[in-house]
Chains A and B, each alone.
Chain A
Amino acid sequence: MKANNNPIDHGLPADELSCVSLLSKLVTYVVPRGLIPIFIIFSLFGRAPLEAAPAVAWNFDLPGERSGWEAKGVEASKVREGVYRILGKEEFQLILPPGLDISPEKDTYFKIRLRTFSPRYLRIYWQPAGSRARLPFVTIQPYMDQNFHTYWVDLSKSPAWHGKINRVGLIFGGIPGMVEIDSLEIGPFSVKEYLASQWREFWLPRTLNIATINSLNSPRLFGKPFISWLNKVAVIVLVLGAFFYFKTKGTRRIKITLMTGLALLIIWLLYDIRETYSQFKMVDEIYRSYVKPPPENKTFPALGAFHRFIELCREKIPPEAQYHFYSDPYWPYDCRIKYFLYPRRINSDTLSNIIAGKKIPYYVVYHQPGIRFDTTSRQIRYHSPEGDFEISKPGRIIVSFGENSFIFLEEQ
């Protein structure tokens, strides 16, 4: 193809003040000289010292730092490696110590860095000095991607944020599960700190889990998905491109189209480069956890040591055999063990591919504390709220894998 005959292979338009040159300036000047410095400034903020001290702050780095905190509805909690871990019911409360003495005029921001392992919402409430009334809630919907996220809440937006604040409480609602709090602060807004935390948020890796195939999350920037910002910029570029396109005539229209196309390509590239980083982090994670370690230490994201257990099953269960399978929860292990161990045939509460009438002598138990081997009767027993009962004939454990995982073989 004679590429030079086509408009896309022409040089950029002459440097005159026109619609075309405006667009070309946007592409060739604003993007490299505007966006790149913004990114550099962002990264510098990530290293800049903090501006102002918060009124109250907890980092959970020191023992006893949690003294004075009150907890309701909490099943278990502990502080480990600078993180406050709470296992809660449907709803649990954490009430910060009394006498906080917060000045609402100055200390306007509530900042919390946390992660949740079940769908949760967080409601913040407060009590002014001398009052026992809970004042209106401010609600946060934490993201559930197994990363710690920092949430900035502007409490001054609430008309009730006035007077001296004596107590602050946090209500976690939603589905029961673990919540981990890395830090919590109430204090004045700090531009440096805000930008630094947004920069960190932007570079958070994408967690590989069993549901990632359904939808990929976008990195976040200023509380919104990065892609939503880029989508807006893309629409602006397109509308501007259309405006200039219809204002001009002839070959200039081609140049405007080229410039618009190029600007969109640059926006696409911006996201794709960030996506490339996500892909790189994924490769790195799998390499470090699954490829590099020796067989006895291999784990896989979201599945842990499951593949090692599969190898063990392959070794111990003959290919033509049938087995019962128990795990808690069944998914994601049931369909995987069915696939990886085939032609061995599975029988479980959720899946079955057994040949009817043929014996099922093997019992494969993976992470199921309710199923135990009874050394007296040499049988497998199921411990349920309704009571204990045997689910096998006598036999022996042919191999154990950690605390609640083993393979049991019935005597013939």
Chain B
Amino acid sequence: MIFIEILKISLAYLIPTLVGLVFISVLEKGKAGLKGVEKLALSFALGSGFVSSYMFYLGVLGIRFNFWTASAIVWPFLICGIFILGKRGPKSLICFSRPLIFSGKTKWKMLLTVLLFALLLWKTSFISFEILACPTYFDDSVANHNYKAKVFYHNQSLVLDKDHPDFLGGYMPWKAPGTSLFKTWVAIWVGTWKEYAVNLNSLFVFLALGLISYYSLARILPPLASLAFTYMILSIPLLTFHAAFAYVDIVAGWYFFSGIVYLIRWIREKDRTAFFLSALLFGVGLSTKNEMIALFVGGALPVLILYQLITRAKFREMLQTTACYLGLVIIFNVPWFVIKGVYNLALGIPEEYRQLEFHPEGFNILASYLFDSGNYNILWPVFFCTLIFSSLLVAKTELKYLLISLAGALAVTLSLFIFTSFFEYLRSGMTINRALLTILPVIVFYIAAFYGKLTEEKELHINEEQ
């Protein structure tokens, strides 16, 4: 029985990964630009997002969720995967290479590598223990994301009757249902509602975040430095804690980070696959949290437009590129936006928080969280110093795009707490750290990119094995 349950859970997570894998392979058109493990992590990101969107479409169309309707999305991808396998061989689907992280190192570097791996292994074990052994614990999971998933699973649909207590998940129906729908998908595959099975999502998100960050950093840094910065991302105390207790902020942070990282890769390497990946990651990411819309508008869109302005792209070309990117981002979410429009659900923050008011006292409270709490390790002072020191370099390098992205994301996040009555959540400390959590991996990436510049990174290491 246990074996069958493990098999079902494995399939629940592997099948979306397979869907993503086939999709990315089609996108790559035979060019193997992505490393095997990186591609796997990306496949999970895209695949789980596709599956969530697909479940939403089923719900909107009034088709009941069951094993057969849910698994219908798999078949086209499976056939396509078999076709790719037959035509281009298995390597075009996925190709693993031996990582060089342990090879050719001095004794102290080897020791450092082992220490970092040991700490990462502990964090993975800690997260696994909390997920496998504990019932869902904290409020937002219990009252919102997991509750909605359970409601969707029980009703086998979205419930679009506004007067029904289970309407759109039954709790705050204006909140994005992406993560909940993926949990519903997992429950459908498992055949019953299992706390640990649906919460395992955040363990895989944690691991995928690490893999995407390592392989992205490895393009601008040597293996040990890439590992060190990846370790820094994964060991941000609040991030590890959120992964252990299945909170949705880490999922939003994962999509925001991946979206920005591949956008920057497109800018650096002119790689069209990275361009599409970035747009698609934001596309599926928008359905994880309402705040993702603001983060996308503040953190990604200005980068896309500014890059084209700086490189003096032709107007028509610029229009095409921007429209293509925006189209890919929005297309997945059209039904969700339509539903919001039809049922008059808030697109962003609720109306009571939209009144402008200035709270300068918020900066002091914010400082106490950034510098005196145990949420971020030493990240914030290092980031602020990096900002000052990198000011000479920013304009001349691609760092400016990362900085614009960060400035935009921080502006939309912090302005809510400083310039609206949402300030009460800063004063009580209820959501400020969770809101900032979404941006933290990009902050580490910025520090890493600056470090890469200072250590005289002369060329990209894109063609070399990691």
A230 and B378 in contact, given A286-B130, A342-B154 (Cβ under 8 angstroms): yes
| A353 adjacent to B238 (CB under 8 Å) | no
Q: Give a binary string over B153-175; 1 marks a CB under 8 Å from any A CB, 0 the rest.
A: 01000000000011000100000
| B237 adjacent to A275 (CB under 8 Å) | yes
Bound: A23/B115 CA distance, A? 22
B397-439 contacts to A (CB < 8 Å): 429-431, 433-434
The interface-forming segment of A123-131, A189-197, A208-216 is A208-216
Q: Give a binary string over A1-34; 1 marks a CB under 8 Å from any B CB, 0 the rest.
A: 1111011110100000000000000000000000
Question: Does A269 lie at the interface of the complex (its beta carbon under 8 Å from any beta carbon of B)?
Answer: yes
| A214 adjacent to B434 (CB under 8 Å) | yes
Chain A: minimal CB distance from B355 (Å): 24
Q: Give a binary string over A264-275; 1 marks a CB under 8 Å from any B CB, 0 the rest.
A: 110111011101
A190-242 contacts to B (CB < 8 Å): 206, 210-219, 224-228, 230-231, 234-235, 238-239, 242
A218 and B465 in contact, given A267-B378, A339-B143, A353-B166 (Cβ under 8 angstroms): no
A234 and B147 in contact, given A8-B455, A213-B242, A254-B454 (Cβ under 8 angstroms): no
Q: Which residues of A contact B350 (CB under 8 A)?
A: none
| B139 adjacent to A227 (CB under 8 Å) | no
The interface-forming segment of B13-21, B293-301, B381-389 is B381-389
| B119 adjacent to A210 (CB under 8 Å) | no
Q: Which residues of B contact A210 (CB under 8 A)?
A: 137-139
Bound: A254/B100 CA distance, A? 22
Q: Is the interface of A mostly helix, strand, loop or mixed?
A: helix
Question: Does B221 lie at the interface of the complex (its beta carbon under 8 Å from any beta carbon of A)?
Answer: yes
| A216 adjacent to B375 (CB under 8 Å) | yes
| B430 adjacent to A214 (CB under 8 Å) | yes
Bound: A224/B374 CA distance, A? 12
Which of B105, B115, B377 has most chain A Cβ within 10 Å?
B377
Question: Does B333 lie at the interface of the complex (its beta carbon under 8 Å from any beta carbon of A)?
Answer: no
Bound: A355/B150 CA distance, A? 17
| A338 adjacent to B147 (CB under 8 Å) | yes
Question: Does B308 lie at the interface of the complex (its beta carbon under 8 Å from any beta carbon of A)?
Answer: no
| B451 adjacent to A257 (CB under 8 Å) | yes
Partner of B455, one of A6, A224, A273, A353: A6
Q: Which residues of A contact B123 (CB under 8 A)?
A: 276, 279
| B465 adjacent to A1 (CB under 8 Å) | yes
Determine the residue in chain A with the shortest Cβ distance to B451.
A261
The interface-forming segment of B36-44, B86-94, B259-267, B365-373 is B365-373
A97-124 contacts to B (CB < 8 Å): none
Determine the residue in chain A with the shortest Cβ distance to B456.
A254
| A342 adjacent to B378 (CB under 8 Å) | no
| B222 adjacent to A3 (CB under 8 Å) | yes
Question: Does B323 lie at the interface of the complex (its beta carbon under 8 Å from any beta carbon of A)?
Answer: no
Question: Does A148 lie at the interface of the complex (its beta carbon under 8 Å from any beta carbon of B)?
Answer: no
Chain A: minimal CB distance from B8 (Å): 22
Q: Which residues of B contact A219 (CB under 8 A)?
A: 374
Question: Does B218 lie at the interface of the complex (its beta carbon under 8 Å from any beta carbon of A)?
Answer: yes
B214-273 contacts to A (CB < 8 Å): 218, 221-225, 228, 232, 235, 237-238, 240-242, 244-245, 247
Bound: A45/B292 CA distance, A? 50
| A216 adjacent to B372 (CB under 8 Å) | no
Chain B: minimal CB distance from A236 (Å): 10
Q: Give a binary string over B109-151; 1 marks a CB under 8 Å from any A CB, 0 the rest.
A: 1000001000100110010011001111111101100110011
Chain A: minimal CB distance from B215 (Å): 11
Q: Which residues of A contact B224 (CB under 8 A)?
A: 3, 8-9
Bound: A334/B240 CA distance, A? 27
Q: How many A-B residue pairs have CB under 8 A?
A: 195
Question: Does B321 lie at the interface of the complex (its beta carbon under 8 Å from any beta carbon of A)?
Answer: no
Partner of A283, one of B100, B126, B225, B238: B126
Q: Which residues of B contact A272 (CB under 8 A)?
A: 119, 235, 237, 377
Interface size on B, residues (CB 8 A): 75
A225 and B373 in contact, given A238-B382, A283-B129, A342-B154 (Cβ under 8 angstroms): yes
| B228 adjacent to A1 (CB under 8 Å) | no
| B454 adjacent to A257 (CB under 8 Å) | yes
Chain A: minimal CB distance from B191 (Å): 16
| A286 adjacent to B134 (CB under 8 Å) | yes
Bound: A3/B221 CA distance, A? 9
Partner of A242, one of B109, B389, B461: B389
Q: Which residues of B contact A335 (CB under 8 A)?
A: 139, 142-143, 147
Bound: A307/B130 CA distance, A? 16
Partner of B373, one of A217, A235, A354, A355: A217
Q: Which residues of B contact A267 (CB under 8 A)?
A: 378
Partner of A268, one of B147, B238, B377: B377
Residue numbers of A with Cβ under 8 A of B are 1-4, 6-9, 11, 206, 210-219, 224-228, 230-231, 234-235, 238-239, 242, 245, 253-254, 257-258, 261, 264-265, 267-269, 271-273, 275-276, 278-280, 282-283, 286-287, 290-291, 300, 307, 332, 335-336, 338-340, 342-343, 345, 352-355
Residue numbers of B with Cβ under 8 A of A are 100, 103-106, 109, 115, 119, 122-123, 126, 129-130, 133-140, 142-143, 146-147, 150-151, 154, 165-166, 170, 218, 221-225, 228, 232, 235, 237-238, 240-242, 244-245, 247, 369, 371-375, 377-378, 380-382, 385-386, 389, 429-431, 433-434, 451, 454-456, 461, 464-466
- Nearest 6 CB-CB pairings of A with B: A218-B374, A1-B464, A335-B143, A353-B165, A238-B385, A213-B138
For this complex, 22 residue pairs linking A to B, each with C-beta atoms less than 8 Å apart, are: A8-B224, A213-B242, A214-B434, A215-B433, A216-B373, A218-B373, A224-B372, A225-B373, A234-B382, A254-B454, A257-B451, A267-B378, A268-B232, A275-B240, A279-B123, A279-B126, A283-B129, A286-B129, A332-B139, A339-B150, A342-B154, A353-B166
